[in-house]
Amino acid sequence: MRLLLDQIDHTDNKLKAYITVCGESALKLAEAAELQLKAGQDLGPLHGIPVSIKDLYETAGIRTTCGSKLMQDYVPRTDCTVVRRLKLNGAIVLGKLNTHEFALGGITPPTRNPWNLRHIPGGSSGGSAAAIAACSAIASTGSDTGGSIRIPASFCGVVGLKPTYGRVSRTGIFPESWSLDHAGPITKRVQDAALLLRIMAGRDELDPTSSGLPVPDYLEEVKLGISGLRVGVPTNYFYEHCDKEVAEAVRSAIDLLKDLGCRMVEFEFPCIPEIMAAYTTLDSCEASAYHERSIEQRAGDFQPDVRLLLEQGMFIPATYYIQALRIRAVIFTQITNLFDRFDVIVTPSEPMVAPEVGQQTVRFGDLEESLDSALVRYLAPFNLTGLPALSIPCGFSGSGLPIGMQIIGRGYDESTVLRVGYAYEQATDWHMRFPVID
């Protein structure tokens, strides 16, 4: 615990990953946990383990700001379900991590990327991924509506898992978009993500969207090997408008999976324009509905980019919202049917490495694209369909920034996704690299 607090002291004035550090209480709880263990009382697999929490998750007695001026003094009375479960298994809350305001963006100002402080960490769970990469957290939580776990995981070179929609309760986590929001872990290693998911997942009576299906022992299942698994490799979309270095790194990773015994199945990914239209509509309208009163009363307290998104959503017609829901059903069927032919899909997580702070657009050949659009286009399809998706590091650019690979599975089949991630991680050493922060 002291080592982590020292590392926060050493790095966080530059990184700004943490909004709140609970140093004193964490040390006291760590001492108590040690005494409990000595007395033969073991609370579970996270006994005495410090966990850092995205500041969108309610934590009893600890300020929960959502990265917003609107919430700067909010101290919840109760823990959200995920934090309650983590604590019941022995975890100690070390602190609260920065998020793009109300999770409505992929940048997370003012947090910086530990691999290069002139670059963004991604978002919205940017504090979570930056802290894991910088070793100022050993386990953290994030939330993902259009990629907010996988974007920063990719940019910071760590592991981020968006589970199946409904696998993890969202009770007590501030919503961005109810029908697209997912909660999940961000960690350094795949096994840590497997352990955290096992504890975070499961039915919660307070969240009617949560699933009552049994939660597998992911920690055991990751070790089952991947020989014979079929890997779907899309031939379109995911390598168009993608940096060459990123495409090459992911293709090398796919070759390695082949060497590890997987069979590759090429296929065409369907419905791209409809996916982005439906995702944008649902995200925009649902976020605006949730924040309607705040926009009425305190619009000036939002950051300008977030305010614009929220105001925009109010002008999208309800007919569009309903059509987005209806086409979502068609897209869901088309994408889930693909899994008759393979067990997982592998794609790049992002079309580029972490952009510089302040960058508004990205260029791919002749195409200049808004950063907001580029950040979500490989990831949002799996928020729309609710399928589990993992981002793990698969290389570094010439400029020394991490590259992420996305592994997507069938609904509720996080085990296979984690198995592939674990096997790849065991065969590579990307996760053994650490940034030098100076």
User: Could you give the residue numbers annotated as active site?
Assistant: 54, 124, 148
Q: Which one-letter amino acid corresponds to residue 41?
A: Q
Q: Which one-letter amino acid corresponds to residue 258?
A: K
Using an 8 Å Cβ cutoff, are 59 and 53 in contact? yes
Q: Give one DSSP letter per residue of 305-323, joined into a string.
A: HHHHHHHHHTTS-HHHHHH
Between 256 and 295, CB nearer to another protein? 295
Between 209 and 252, CB nearer to another protein? 209
Span between the terminal Cα atoms of the chain, in Å: 22
Q: How many CA atoms lie within 13 A of 38 on its CB side?
A: 6
Between 245 and 311, CB nearer to another protein? 311
Q: Give one DSSP letter per residue of 264-300, joined into a string.
A: EEEEPPP-HHHHHHHHHHHHHHHHHHHHHHHHHHHGG
Considering only CA atoms, which of 166, 174, 179, 144 is closest in space to residue 58?
174
Between 88 and 330, CB nearer to another protein? 330
Shortest distance (Å) from residue 170 CB to another protein: 14
Give the footprint of another protein on this chain (CB under 8 A): 164-166, 209, 211, 213-214, 216, 273-274, 276-278, 280-281, 284, 292, 295-296, 299, 308, 311-312, 314-317, 319-320, 322-330, 332-333, 336, 370, 373, 385-386, 410-413
Between 244 and 363, CB nearer to another protein? 363
Q: Give one DSSP letter per residue of 364-424, joined into a string.
A: ETTEEEEHHHHHHTTTTHHHHS---EEEEEEEE-TTS-EEEEEEEESTT-HHHHHHHHHHH
Between 73 and 296, CB nearer to another protein? 296
Shortest distance (Å) from residue 164 CB to another protein: 7
The secondary structure of the chain in percent helix, strand, coil, rounded to multiples of 5, reads: 40, 20, 40
Shortest distance (Å) from residue 311 CB to another protein: 5
Give the integer Cα–Cα distance in Å for 267 and 412.
22
Shortest distance (Å) from residue 259 CB to another protein: 28
Shortest distance (Å) from residue 409 CB to another protein: 10
Shortest distance (Å) from residue 171 CB to another protein: 18
Residues across the chain: 438
